[in-house]
Amino acid sequence: MSESAGTTNMGNIAILISGTGSNMQAFIDACESGELAARISIVISNNPDAAGLQRAANAGIKTKCINHRDYDSREVFDAALCSALQEHDIDLVILAGFMRILTPVFIEPYLGQLLNIHPSLLPKYPGLHTHQRALDAGDKEGGVTVHFVTPELDSGPAIIQARVPIQAGDTAESLAARVLVEEHKIYPLAAQWFLQRRLQLTNSGATLDGEAVPETGVPYQ
């Protein structure tokens, strides 16, 4: 890729999924439309029944299943993931509904090249059941955060955040559906920034165009 900020050559992306691949599809669409100057080199799932594997194959993308149940530990599984990615010249790894806690065996080789999306306004509500937790707390907003992955779960520096007003009568499911629309917008955008060399992970956090990103990420307009 070019070293010049603001320019983009075709970057190679790997996407890790466990389920239907909803966010993966947003990347497929962004690449096909030219919104994201990248190629999806491989989609890997830990779940042989993941519907997203067929979705990726239908789009002509190479797929691979590495079933975590076949490995004795998280570390051995993560080493297998690394081995699979090393067969490709990967610039960026995207976690798209990948329901495995990664260990340093995988995170450290890809530190600074590994993004995740979390359905809350981090640092609020790391972990699971984020929408219900926001409703139970009486929050006025829910949302979603794209962040760099570090060894601490859901604690890597935020990159971009989209907020969604909570409406009267909302359920976790109705809120999740509206948040998902925003997920599909901001995740490819964060990847675009990275491939343009505008976005970096530094020792002091995330930077965009050389400026420190706020703790809660760049607000999505």
Query: For 127-186, how does the pLDDT look when each residue is reduced to its tens digit (9 = 90+)?
Result: 999 999 999 999 999 999 999 999 988 889 999 999 999 999 999 999 999 999 999 999
Reference 132, options 144, 122, 142, 123; nearest CA is 142
Query: For 50-94, how does the pLDDT look when each residue is reduced to its tens digit (9 = 90+)?
Result: 999 999 999 999 999 999 999 999 999 999 999 999 999 999 999
Q: What is the pTM of this model?
A: 0.94
Phi, psi of 61 (to 5 degrees): -100, 140
The DSSP annotation for 50-114 comes to -HHHHHHHHTT--EEE--GGGSSSHHHHHHHHHHHHTTS--SEEEESS--SPPPHHHHGGGTTSE
Query: For 90-132, how does the pLDDT look when each residue is reduced to its tens digit (9 = 90+)?
Result: 999 999 999 999 999 999 999 999 999 999 999 999 999 999 9
What residues are paired with 42 via a beta bridge? 14
Are residues 98 and 16 in contact, defined by beta-carbon separation less than 8 angstroms? yes
Judged against a pLDDT cut of 80, whether residue 188 lies above it is answered with yes
Cα separation, 90 vs 101, whole angstroms: 21
Query: For 57-68, how does the pLDDT look when each residue is reduced to its tens digit (9 = 90+)?
Result: 999 999 999 999
Token couple for 100: 């495995």
**Residues marked as catalytic:** 118
Check residue 203 and report its DSSP letter.
T
Domain boundaries, the chain: 10-110, 117-221
Assigned architecture for domain 10-110: 3-Layer(aba) Sandwich (3.40)
Query: What class does CATH assign to 117-221?
Result: alpha beta
**How high is the pLDDT of residue 9?**
64
Those residues with Cβ within 8 angstroms of residue 82's Cβ, 6 or more apart along the chain or in another chain: 105, 106, 109
